[in-house]
């Protein structure tokens, strides 16, 4: 339950209720401070005659409401930064009941020490009217160190302008620019989309994962992309000027481009252009660690290039180490179609050998009768964290899209003796490249062929349902429609109380705190046991090898020794029970 912090003495309960209601306010991710919320803070400040501080997360959720003295408020560190170099992903808005909107030296020190995205002071008079606002951001200097920027007086009506949040995101990315290197130099990417703001934001997250800095973006709402220039020639001319002003070195498009579209855009923009598919392939090239993963990425890259050679003139000369030019098979972009096809055949042969080896391992697991459970879902929903929480493994966990790529499996033994194989597969994403799905099909088929699918969604993400639909589309394309499913909504610990709504049958889980893990394991056990039966047999001493077979194929629940032999009660799958009955019919 949300709580108020700070100096609450003497405040009426009705006013406390109004203060608590601030937690219910949701702010758009591209708004710094809505005017209505600012007015509400001013009115409450006049009622309590003390400073009020509100902490807002980057995604627009109010994390804390604190009441201070008449001239100050205690500031807290509620940072959610991804690393020590990044901003806290939290901004602080607080009021000054004396009508003075100027940020103090203490405020500026807090901005620096808490690594806040920004700090804002609102002047409020005794009638609860806003008198003004000042704002300061934390931005990197020439050495990449975060420094408090100048204090800027700003009209309250302009505090909701999306430019402020765009500056914060840019500062956050620039803060790690000195430590983020490609093979050549840092790419400064300009993003364009004709889809939606959500898709554009996701493209920005992908760009961040690839190690580039987003310096600008443009959204052109169109029913479908322009067949010549994707965004239209007029908009392309605007983007060319804006990208030049922002010193962009690369343009990334939010959809897959034809060779002609990419070539035409490069001519207008005067910059290298890559599409979403190339960006995702580049990320996969960085993340692949196993021999099979590297071969699969190489195959996907070459298949994609083979279908885009026509019209891809300037792009073939991008031999420097930037986004879209990394990874296995990346160093020979000038290869003609014949050479690419020859290389594709070599990669396919190598993959077939690895698939043969995997098939041997799979048959070994089938022979040992170990049931399998696969964790599937959108990228960055916490599947690897969930695998670690259940198995005690140390799979890489990072708040980043496609942080882990290679499939990882762990044997899980429960307290009651149940055993299953838990597999963490690569995360899905909307507009997942077809070439990538095809290249990874054998790996994905292994995960999709599991006895149970645990579909993991991010409960804290406002777009969880959109992401879930994208996951379903991929599952359908892979033919993974028949297995029993368990729906899991992860990150439940950071979901606000008023937003805790679950789809029917879904389990709330927090892989980070352990909440709901036991319930998930119980659900997995229940599904695995659905096809099992409890049977009883009297195994004579003369056919004692039957007892070993029962132990191998099932789980003994009770064993008693009698004069004629051992009477056992055991649980076993229906097919294995039929196998035992056909082989040892006299013991049943």
Q: Among 166-170, 175-179, 337-341, 424-428, where is mean pLDDT lowest?
A: 175-179
pLDDT band at 180; cut points 50, 70, 90: very low
The answer, yes or no, to whether residue 372 has pLDDT greater than 90, is no
β-strand 188-193 against 213-219: which pairing, if any? parallel
Beta bridge partners of 533: 572
| DSSP classification of residue 257 | P
Number of domains in the chain: 4
pLDDT band at 310; cut points 50, 70, 90: very low
Last residue of a domain, one of 132, 161, 190: 161
pLDDT tens digits, one per residue of 82-136? 445 678 888 999 999 988 999 988 888 888 888 888 999 999 999 999 999 999 9
Which whole number is the average pLDDT over 319-333? 47
Contacts of 325 (CB under 8 A, 6+ apart): 183, 282, 318, 319, 333
Which whole number is the average pLDDT over 441-447? 61
pLDDT at 520: 92
The answer, yes or no, to whether residue 356 has pLDDT greater than 80, is no
Domain membership of residue 243 (yes or no) is yes
Same domain? For 312 and 185 the reply is: yes
For 260, list phi and psi in degrees, rounded to 5: -65, -45
Residues 308, 277: contact at Cβ < 8 Å? no
First-to-last C-alpha distance (Å) of the chain: 57
Q: How far apart are CA 424 and CA 439, in angstroms?
A: 18
Same domain? For 189 and 122 the reply is: no
| DSSP classification of residue 100 | -
**How far is the CA of 346 from the CAs of 329, 339, 349, 350, 351, in angstroms?**
12, 11, 5, 6, 9
Q: Encoding tokens for residue 170?
A: 């840019």
pLDDT at 295: 76
pLDDT band at 80; cut points 50, 70, 90: very low
Last residue of a domain, one of 101, 133, 161: 161
The answer, yes or no, to whether residue 252 has pLDDT greater than 90, is yes
β-strand 452-458 against 485-490: which pairing, if any? parallel
Q: Encoding tokens for residue 81?
A: 């930064």
Q: How far apart are CA 453 and CA 375, in angstroms?
A: 6
More confident residue, 308 or 510: 510
Q: How far apart are CA 457 and CA 509, in angstroms?
A: 10
Same domain? For 383 and 319 the reply is: no
pLDDT band at 490; cut points 50, 70, 90: very high
pLDDT at 253: 94
- DSSP H or E run through 546: helix 545-553
More confident residue, 92 or 144: 92
Contacts of 96 (CB under 8 A, 6+ apart): 51, 71, 102, 121, 122, 123, 124
For 231, list phi and psi in degrees, rounded to 5: -110, 0
Same domain? For 143 and 35 the reply is: yes
Domain membership of residue 87 (yes or no) is yes
Domain membership of residue 61 (yes or no) is yes
Same domain? For 119 and 203 the reply is: no
Q: How far apart are CA 373 and CA 391, in angstroms?
A: 12
Look up the CATH number of the domain holding residue 537: 3.30.70
Domain membership of residue 383 (yes or no) is yes
pLDDT band at 332; cut points 50, 70, 90: very low
Look up the domain containing 76 and give its range: 4-161
Same domain? For 197 and 343 the reply is: yes
pLDDT tens digits, one per residue of 530-588? 777 788 888 888 777 888 888 877 778 888 888 888 888 888 777 788 888 888 877 87
3-class DSSP state of 463: coil
pLDDT at 476: 83
Q: Encoding tokens for residue 232?
A: 């239209």
For 521, list phi and psi in degrees, rounded to 5: -65, -35
Q: Is 145 exposed, middle or buried (0-12, 13-18, 19+ CB in 10 A)?
A: exposed
| DSSP classification of residue 440 | T
B/e letters for 517-526, b = 16+ CB within 10 Å, e = fewer, are beebbebbee
Mean pLDDT (the chain, rounded): 79
pLDDT band at 516; cut points 50, 70, 90: very high
Beta bridge partners of 378: 428
Domain membership of residue 79 (yes or no) is yes
Same domain? For 282 and 312 the reply is: yes
Same domain? For 30 and 132 the reply is: yes
Last residue of a domain, one of 492, 510, 529: 529
Same domain? For 423 and 466 the reply is: yes
Same domain? For 132 and 204 the reply is: no
pLDDT at 441: 62
pLDDT band at 343; cut points 50, 70, 90: confident
The answer, yes or no, to whether residue 183 has pLDDT greater than 50, is no
Which whole number is the average pLDDT over 135-149? 75
Same domain? For 86 and 14 the reply is: yes
pLDDT at 15: 92
β-strand 130-140 against 146-148: which pairing, if any? antiparallel
More confident residue, 571 or 440: 571
The answer, yes or no, to whether residue 315 has pLDDT greater than 80, is no
Q: How far apart are CA 264 and CA 243, in angstroms?
A: 16
Domain membership of residue 558 (yes or no) is yes
pLDDT tens digits, one per residue of 146-174? 778 788 888 888 888 877 887 787 777 66
Q: How far apart are CA 161 and CA 585, in angstroms?
A: 78
Same domain? For 519 and 540 the reply is: no
pLDDT band at 450; cut points 50, 70, 90: confident
Nearest one of 390, 425, 397 to 411, comparing CA atoms = 390
Domain membership of residue 174 (yes or no) is no
**How far is the CA of 48 from the CAs of 74, 394, 572, in angstroms?**
16, 50, 68
Residues 258, 231: contact at Cβ < 8 Å? no
Domain membership of residue 233 (yes or no) is yes
């Amino acid at each position: 339950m949300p709580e108020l912090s700070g100096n609450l003495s003497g405040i009426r309960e009705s006013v406390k209720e109004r203060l608590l209601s601030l937690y219910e306010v949701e702010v758009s991710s591209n708004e710094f401070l809505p005017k209505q919320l600012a007015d509400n803070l001013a009115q409450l400040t006049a009622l309590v005659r003390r400073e009020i501080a509100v902490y807002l997360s980057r995604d627009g959720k109010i994390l804390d409401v604190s009441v201070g003295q008449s001239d100050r408020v205690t500031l807290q560190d509620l940072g959610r930064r991804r690393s020590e170099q990044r901003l806290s992903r939290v901004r602080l808005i607080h009021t000054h009941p004396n009508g003075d909107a100027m940020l103090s030296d203490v405020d500026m020190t807090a901005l620096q020490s808490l690594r806040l995205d920004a700090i804002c002071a609102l002047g409020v008079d005794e009638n609860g009217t806003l008198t003004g606002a000042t704002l300061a951001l934390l931005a990197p200097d020439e050495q990449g160190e975060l420094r408090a920027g100048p204090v800027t007086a700003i009209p309250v009506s302009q505090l909701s302008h999306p430019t402020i949040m765009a500056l914060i995101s840019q500062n956050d990315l620039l803060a790690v620019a000195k430590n983020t290197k490609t093979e050549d130099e840092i790419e400064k990417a300009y993003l364009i989309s004709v889809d939606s703001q959500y898709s554009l934001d996701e493209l920005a997250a992908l760009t961040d994962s690839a190690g580039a800095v987003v310096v600008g973006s443009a959204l052109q709402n169109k029913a479908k992309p322009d067949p010549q220039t994707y965004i239209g020639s007029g908009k392309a001319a605007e983007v060319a000027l804006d990208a030049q002003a922002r010193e962009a070195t690369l343009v990334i498009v939010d959809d897959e481009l034809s060779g002609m579209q990419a070539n035409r855009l490069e001519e207008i923009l005067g910059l290298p252009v890559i599409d979403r598919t190339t960006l995702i392939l580049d990320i996969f090239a960085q993340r692949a660690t196993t021999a099979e993963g590297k071969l699969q990425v190489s195959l996907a890259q070459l298949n994609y290039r083979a279908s885009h050679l026509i019209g891809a003139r300037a792009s073939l000369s991008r031999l420097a180490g930037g986004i879209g030019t990394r990874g296995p098979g990346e160093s020979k972009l000038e290869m003609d179609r014949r050479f690419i096809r020859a290389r594709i055949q070599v990669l396919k042969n190598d993959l077939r050998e690895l698939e043969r080896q995997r098939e041997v391992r799979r048959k070994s697991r089938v022979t040992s009768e170990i049931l399998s459970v696969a964790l599937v879902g959108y990228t960055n929903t916490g599947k690897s964290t969930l695998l670690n929480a259940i198995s005690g493994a140390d799979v890489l966990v990072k708040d980043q899209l496609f942080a882990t790529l290679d499939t990882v499996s762990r044997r899980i033994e429960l307290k009651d003796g149940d055993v299953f194989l838990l597999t963490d597969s690569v995360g899905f994403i909307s507009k997942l490249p077809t070439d990538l799905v095809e290249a990874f099909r054998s790996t994905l088929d292994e995960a999709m062929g599991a006895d149970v699918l645990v579909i993991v969604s991010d409960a804290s993400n406002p777009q969880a349902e959109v992401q879930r639909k994208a996951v379903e589309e991929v599952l359908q394309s892979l033919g993974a429609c028949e297995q029993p499913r368990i729906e899991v909504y992860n990150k439940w610990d950071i979901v606000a109380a008023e937003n805790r709504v679950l789809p029917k049958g879904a389990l709330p889980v927090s892989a980070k705190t352990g909440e709901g893990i036991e319930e998930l394991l119980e659900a997995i056990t229940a599904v695995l046991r659905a096809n099992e039966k409890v049977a009883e047999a009297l195994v004579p001493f003369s056919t004692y090898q039957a007892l070993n077979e029962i132990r191998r194929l099932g789980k003994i629940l009770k064993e008693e020794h009698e004069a004629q032999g051992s009477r056992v009660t055991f649980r076993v799958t229906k097919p294995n029970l039929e196998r035992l009955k056909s082989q040892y019919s006299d013991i049943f």
